[in-house]
Amino acid sequence: MTLMLVDSASLWYRAYFGMPESLVSPQGEPVNAIRGYLDMLSRLLIQYRPNRLVAAIEGDWRPSWRVELFPEYKSNRLADDGEEEEPDLLTPQIPILLDLIEEFGIPLVGADDYEADDVMATYAANEPGPIRIVTGDRDLFQLVSDEPDVQMIYLAKGISNHDLVDRNWVAKKYDIPGDRYGLFATFRGDPSDGLPGVKGIGEKGAALIARHYASAEEAIAGAKNGDSHLSPSLQKKIIEGVDYLSFAPKLVACATDVLLPNVDTTLPKRPKSLEKIYEYKNNLNLGSSVDRLISA
């Protein structure tokens, strides 16, 4: 009973930038993100044949508890109005897309003060596998596991060339134990989320730390004890980064205890009604994109 978890925002951003802006409705409204999202979801359903499906959405893209830990969290994405910066032509497409997803009978699940990552992590931690997480966000590499069977459909190279990520893939890619991506990311940082990591420690240093220690606490103890696995320079950087490391692991980790609504995740065999779906199809010139998802 495979459960597919779709990182909706990741998918619609990828759809928006991957599809031409010339895709518009008869009234000239942009529909490229809508069509791209529906097309990608259709292909994924056909390829992976999940029995269950959830479209995860953001309850809050900058949860208050993460901002309290680190005020600069995702501040690099803030627009002047305090909201998340997004392309002008994408914004009006999102409410329509969300409505369409619901009309197809696919549950949209979010939680107040949590990101979509946390929603998917909670499902991954508490549902039986197999689980397939659809995203272009490498942060979620921390969720892959062998038991339960949690793998990531990683869309960084596009839908046609996507990677199916498991712990072995993570281990080969970063030269670290496959279950320590979160620790590796804590030390390395992530500019896309405004996370600096430990000052002076890049990917190679973070990988070395993740190979020899299972937690930030262990790495700090190793640095303070002059562990030979760490160069004097790396020991010094870890010790100087103790303040950041006191909260960074919680900041980087996905929450796995989110209170989620009780929804039926069973993939419907067909939409309950096609009336509104066809209305959108005809009014917005969604054509084959709608037909493909109905077929899938």
Positive or negative torsion for Cα 228, 184, 3, 261:
positive
> Measured between alpha carbons, how far is 98 from 267 in angstroms, rounded to an integer?
17
Give pLDDT tens digits for 37-73.
999 999 999 999 999 999 999 999 999 999 999 998 9
> Measured between alpha carbons, how far is 206 from 45 in angstroms, rounded to an integer?
36
Structure tokens at 18: 């991957």
pLDDT grade for 107, boundaries at 50, 70 and 90:
very high
Cβ(195)–Cβ(249) below 8 Å: no
pLDDT at 140 over 90: yes
Residue 90: strand, helix, or coil: coil
> Measured between alpha carbons, how far is 270 from 104 in angstroms, rounded to an integer?
7
Q: What percent of the chain has pLDDT over 90?
A: 86
pLDDT grade for 280, boundaries at 50, 70 and 90:
very high
At 95, give phi and psi (nearest 5°). Answer: -60, -35
Q: Measured in Å, how far apart are the chain's first and last C-alpha atoms?
A: 17
Residues 6+ apart with CB under 8 A from 37: 8, 11, 12, 15, 97
DSSP-assigned beta bridge partners for residue 195: 190
> Measured between alpha carbons, how far is 29 from 93 in angstroms, rounded to an integer?
9
Residues 6+ apart with CB under 8 A from 61: 9, 74, 77, 84, 115
Give pLDDT tens digits for 225-235.
999 999 999 99
Cβ(121)–Cβ(137) below 8 Å: no
The model's pTM is 0.94
pLDDT at 97: 97
Lowest mean pLDDT among 30-34, 82-86, 237-241: 82-86
Among candidate residues 33, 61, 38, the one with its CA nearest the CA of residue 119: 61
Average pLDDT over residues 222-243: 94
pLDDT at 87: 87
Residues 6+ apart with CB under 8 A from 33: 12, 13, 15, 16, 19, 90, 93, 94, 97
At 212, give phi and psi (nearest 5°). Answer: -110, -15
> Measured between alpha carbons, how far is 15 from 93 in angstroms, rounded to an integer?
11
- On the 0-12 / 13-18 / 19+ scale of CB atoms within 10 A, 15 is buried
Q: How far is CA 287 from CA 91, 116, 174, in A?
A: 21, 29, 42
